[in-house]
Chains A and B, each alone.
Chain A
């Protein structure tokens, strides 16, 4: 799709790539076509779906669950995020 990798070309080809960038960068400044812009935004926004956590309030303590396909892992009152971080919920009344 894109051709050669940047670390698989000769020094001469790299110099040509720098020169190409310096040339087109003087005439095109980052204004995308409207259809490309909104298309990419739609894709990105579609991927950024919310993660659902359900908390069932009741005795003896609230119960936390996530849907089966969720990337979250629940352990008691702790929610493990898929990047390794942990969210601890404390319930007070």
Chain B
């Protein structure tokens, strides 16, 4: 079999274009551009490389060429760092710099196969989400511990734990810690399976805000007030605690610091 790239039928020209645009200026994308790029990299999970040795799906290549050799040491770097964000950036760029060379040496991005660049973009995209997703998780887990919140969390040093259905448990409620991009890529949809999600967003010239999006049951348990609004208007209501309906499902969005205070009070029995 000659080398070629197999793409899903739904993968169109716009997806080839957005893959390049993301590499060039993903940090500047608008609403519509994120919608397309999230779809594009979802679709590429179904893509594969056909080689004389057989068919290799993109996710298998990503695992063998990126996650397997680099993920564990990256997590260790985060856990041992005093400044997690700084260490994450340095470790991310070291691995990201190696990815093109590694794929080329493995014969997976030959110079005469321009479509194979999609594999390169795919590996860079998912390494980016992995690296900064876990750096955020380590930051939050440290902050919760330092804030005196009682919780149990999965062991990030074990891949099987990293693939678990939730990141932590607080007062009997299971939750996830997600950067906003990664939430949309992995947890989106009509139904939120976990009780809460800690998410970081930006507002007003990139000032960071931390929110906790939770089912009403958790908010009821820790006792808070809410303001009813719509999902599309939520950004204007924050940091006031808001209650929204996402396709009929009631979700409370609260400021992270307020959520921590209420959880701490709840766990202290006050």
Contacts and interface: CB of A to CB of B under 8 A. Distances in A.
Contacts of A43: 35
Contacts of A34: 201-203, 209, 234-235, 238
Interface stretch (A20-28, A55-63, A68-76): A20-28
B118 interface: yes
B115 A7 contact: yes
A7 B135 CA distance: 32
A2 B33 CA distance: 8
Category for how many chain B residues contact A: 35 or more
B100 interface: yes
A18 B125 CA distance: 11
Given A14-B117, A25-B92, A48 B201 contact: no
A9 B20 contact: yes
A25 B111 CA distance: 25
B189 to A, nearest CB: 5
Interface residues of A, number: 42
Given A2-B33, A7-B118, A31-B201, A22 B97 contact: yes
B190 A40 contact: no
A29 B53 CA distance: 37
Nearest to B96: A22
B14 interface: yes
B175 to A, nearest CB: 17
Contact of B180 (A20, A21, A22, A37): A37
B214 interface: no
A48 B247 contact: yes
Given A37-B201, A41-B246, A6 B17 contact: yes
Nearest to B16: A5
A30 interface: yes
Interface of A: 1-9, 11, 14, 17-18, 20-22, 24-46, 48-50
Interface of B: 13-14, 16-27, 30-36, 38, 85, 88-89, 92-93, 96-97, 100, 111, 114-115, 117-118, 120-121, 124, 128-129, 132-133, 135-136, 179-184, 188-191, 199-203, 206, 208-209, 230-232, 234-236, 238, 246-247
A-B pairs, 5 with minimum CB distance: A2-B17, A5-B16, A34-B235, A28-B27, A7-B114
Given A7-B117, A32-B202, 17 more contacts: A6-B17, A6-B23, A9-B114, A17-B23, A24-B26, A25-B93, A26-B93, A29-B135, A30-B182, A31-B179, A31-B201, A34-B201, A34-B203, A35-B235, A37-B183, A41-B246, A49-B190
